[in-house]
Structure 1
Amino acid sequence: MPEFTYDMLVIGSGPAGQRAAIQAAKLGKRVAMAERRGVVGGACINTGTIPSKTLREAVLHLSGYRLRSLYGASYTVKQHITMEDLLFRTDHVVRHEIDVTLHQLMRNDVDLFNAHAQFVDPHTLRLIDLDKRGTRAMRHLSAATIVIAAGTEATRDEHIPFDGQRICSSDDVLQMQRLPHSLAVVGAGVIGLEYASLFAALGVRVTLIDKRQRLLSFIDAEIVDTLAHHLRENRVTLRLGEEVSGMEPFNDVSGDRVRIQLASGKQVVTDAALYSIGRTGATNDRGRISVNERYQTNVPHIYAVGDVIGFPSLASTSMEQGRLAACHAFGVEATSVPALFPYGVYSIPEISMVGRTEEELTAEGVPYEVGKAHYREIARGQIIGDTIGLLKLIFHLQTHALLGVHIIGDGASELIHIGQAVLSLNAPIEYFVNTVFNYPTLAECYKTAAFDGINRLGGVRQDAVATSSRN
């Protein structure tokens, strides 16, 4: 056996890399990690998940969004909100999460190298350090196992002149120095939709452009339609089925502007533009990496986990992938990532789902029924001022087994875990009928939706209660 410097080398310190490194360290292995950014946490902590979700909370608070149904659409907590106001909270949370990650790595004796990693051979990495003075230093480290968790970067069109102010990617949108009066978001995927709804809640005139005809095709159509309706109410212009053919900055009497040319011949003129057309694996133009069910590449001792391997590209699943890869590498039995996991879209309003959609079940010929609960019908919905929220249960027509849960509204990404647990148990929707929920809470929506679904069938099964004060 050759002598290696480490048992495992991990490239990248995002959720997947961090979990792989710590799991290996817990197994008593010598572990090192290379992180090229200079700070740990990957895009998740530094430019993506954590800052954007913290920004969302700042927007909800400062804009007074949650109270507008009570005090009117013009209500705001703070007049003249600035980017500095919005980023104050974000910077604090990001620094805290970086510190937490660093302490976790240190506590588990993971050696951290702030360096760019390159393969020399299948067991050896060349680490290239670049200090603040631009001095390059190289070292070589070897390991029995290498885990690639390099993550992704925002996709950039080489013909678009990004400057981080007027024309931004999702990686640098939070570096904007001023809040624009108008914003064009190119790309209506999850990231684009989240930012479009955030800026719209601040009163920014948003134009959302996407070449697809429908938003979020993996989400239940009724939920997406509810979101689209709300975006339009917030003065978001949806330009679906439109492709961008060019983008350029220019100046007019209004100041710095951006002109976007559409393939249809139309033009969109705006103060700023956010280009959000997906993400690309941070692998020197190699893109996504193919792996087997154990996260091994075509070289068995080299694993790849997280966003760099593609779908589902969620921080939650990436963490599990990293842990499971480390377990497999060192012969520890572990189950695979569960097939049933929730999605969360942190738009305003929030969306979350788990299980099947109506469209999928219809295509497969599965008989089903639905039950719905609107937040406006729930006391808690009135208390918090959310009158657009909706919880939707999909269940099998004959067995009543729960098949899917779809939520739009405040707390959707938290509420979804109740449905996830019941789905995992393969339980019928009568479970919700026979369960007592705290009152007043949004969780009551499960009970109300279950009654609604059963009532649509014209009755109940013997083990269900026949009446409800809310139905």
Structure 2
Amino acid sequence: MKYDVIVIGSGPGGYISAIRAAQLGKKVAIIEKYPTLGGTCLNVGCIPSKALLDSSHHYYDAVHHFEEHGISVEKPSFDFGKMVDRKASVVEQTTGGIKYLMDKNDITVYEGLGSFESNTQVKVTKNDGSSEVIEGTNIIIATGSKPSTLPFISLDKERIITSTEALKLKEVPKHLIVIGGGVIGLELGSVYKRLGADVSVVEYAPAITPTMDKDVSKELTKVLKKQGMKFHVSHGVSAVERKGEEVVVTATNKKGEEVSFTGDYCLVAVGRRPYTDGLALDKAGVKVNERGQIDVNDHLQTNVSNIYAIGDVVRGAMLAHKAEEEGVVVAEYLAGQKPHIDYNLIPGIVYTWPEVAAVGKTEQELKDAGVAYKAGKFSMRALGRSRASGDLDGFVKVLADKNTDEILGAHIVGARAADLIMELAVAMEYRASAEDVARICHGHPTYSEAIKEAAKAAWDGKPLNA
């Protein structure tokens, strides 16, 4: 069978790319080796983690915050099995929705492992061992990523686990040791801390969320410590050993001293690696760099002109929404359009509570680049909406060019930061100034007023409510 476009991988990048190509008149096939569509994000990543984050957040509020709202309940309890079942139901509904979209757009779905036979032929090997070869004028590689580990760590996937196993535990850990203070570690650590686990985060860098703005890292550390999480930054892990039902993590602190942590589970959350296993890229002549990423140009085109690659398997942030945008760009480019993507404006989000979100440059990046800038910051605590809901932690920080007032970066810690950041992403797409945002009438009382105030602070240094 011959297609205009073959997509290998059905995660957010792959399935979106397939849909957009089909919308633009292409005959499309998509190959997925697992029984359900949606890739890591929908099956064992973004969606199930948010389901557990929401469930645990409701429980945490019932225990810690209902009373202050005048709501009296008997001592709250939870059924962890039901939480996990609900998560599974959310995943099932979401992946089922992808199958519906494939049918709606007349996209042929092949279940099996896709591997190149040539630059235009892909073999689909099914679970029963049978195979067939399909042909594509253009091929898009969207095979995503897998959790990384450290060379000396042996993942048994029972007590020494990755994010995949952390999302389907049968019990709440007594003491969860998290190696890595990035997005995945903090989100899953938050889930289990809210449900009663002791959580210790061991991070090699001097701060958690080390790639984010320093003010963000500082504020998030303060808030999560208040919630009971423990942080051990500037700690280099050297060994992880399972001893029966316990796990011992050995690390060296910044003083050069060896320290150890003992828990019943250890979550290894040190990042993810591009996943190209089984693709037989050599048969198509596709090049991979020293980091395991597929090399692409500005059009996401590999060194083989009819083969493209998107998402976690190429350079850049490993984010579902980045993969989606790249999928759309490739589909539209193949249809003769002239799409664009601004990688500087892809938001980064941490779904703890309060949430964290950022877009554009950090203050450190502007300093390192020698850019003259000004910063405006506004505390969530000063908002009427925050006082009404009780979500007082956090701030909005806006960075603008000192001479032109153009917004260069924005950083939020606070309630609904994941949604709020998009106002600033849109503003930056249109190269708005801090004054532009400050002069827009924002609804009152809303969390978004903090954006207006921070923008005004960056523009003229005079927020109205601080």
Work out whether the TM-score is over 0.5.
yes
Could you say which residue in structure 1 is the equivalent of 2:170?
177
Could you say which residue in structure 2 is the equivalent of 1:226?
219
1:204 aligns with 2:209: no
How far off its partner does 1:141 sit? 1.1
How far off its partner does 1:66 sit? 9.7
Could you say which residue in structure 2 is the equivalent of 1:463?
none
After superposition, residues 313-392 of structure 1 pair within 5 angstroms as 313-337=318-342, 339-392=344-397
2:273, 2:431 → 1: CA distance? 37
Corresponding residue to 1:312 among 308, 312, 317 = 317
1:343, 1:354 → 2: CA distance? 6
How far off its partner does 1:159 sit? 4.9
How far off its partner does 1:39 sit? 0.8
1:360, 1:340 → 2: CA distance? 15
1:432 aligns with 2:437: yes
Q: Which runs of 4+ in 1 moved over 6 A?
A: 75-78
304-313 or 444-453, which deviates more: 444-453
Change beyond 3 A, Cα 1:76–1:86: farther
Whether the 8 Å contact between 1:301 and 1:329 is mirrored in structure 2 is: no
278-287 or 22-31, which deviates more: 278-287
Change beyond 3 A, Cα 1:241–1:433: closer
2:47, 2:81 → 1: CA distance? 17
Change beyond 3 A, Cα 1:332–1:452: closer
Whether the 8 Å contact between 1:82 and 1:178 is mirrored in structure 2 is: no
Corresponding residue to 2:118 among 83, 106, 121 = 121
Change beyond 3 A, Cα 1:295–1:357: same
State percent identity of aligned pairs: 30
Change beyond 3 A, Cα 1:358–1:336: closer
1:320, 1:443 → 2: CA distance? 25
Could you say which residue in structure 1 is the equivalent of 2:285?
none
Unaligned runs of 5+ in 1: 460-466
After superposition, residues 292-303 of structure 1 pair within 5 angstroms as 292-303=297-308
2:165, 2:306 → 1: CA distance? 35
Could you say which residue in structure 1 is the equivalent of 2:284?
none
How far off its partner does 1:77 sit? 8.7
How far off its partner does 1:336 sit? 3.7
After superposition, residues 127-206 of structure 1 pair within 5 angstroms as 127-130=124-127, 135-157=128-150, 159-206=152-199
Q: TM-score, normalised by structure 2?
A: 0.90
Could you say which residue in structure 2 is the equivalent of 1:48?
45
Whether the 8 Å contact between 1:165 and 1:177 is mirrored in structure 2 is: no
What are the Cα deviations for residues 154-210 of structure 1, in whole angstroms up to 9, with x where unaligned?
A: 124565443433221012211110001210001222211222233223332111112
Corresponding residue to 2:208 among 215, 221, 242 = 215
How far off its partner does 1:92 sit? 2.0
2:248, 2:61 → 1: CA distance? 32
| RMSD, matched Cα | 2.4
1:428, 1:330 → 2: CA distance? 35
1:235 aligns with 2:228: yes
Q: TM-score, normalised by structure 1?
A: 0.89
After superposition, residues 220-299 of structure 1 pair within 5 angstroms as 220-251=213-244, 256-263=245-252, 264-284=257-277, 287-299=292-304
Change beyond 3 A, Cα 1:87–1:289: same
Partner-residue secondary structure (3-state), 2:345: coil
Could you say which residue in structure 2 is the equivalent of 1:110?
107
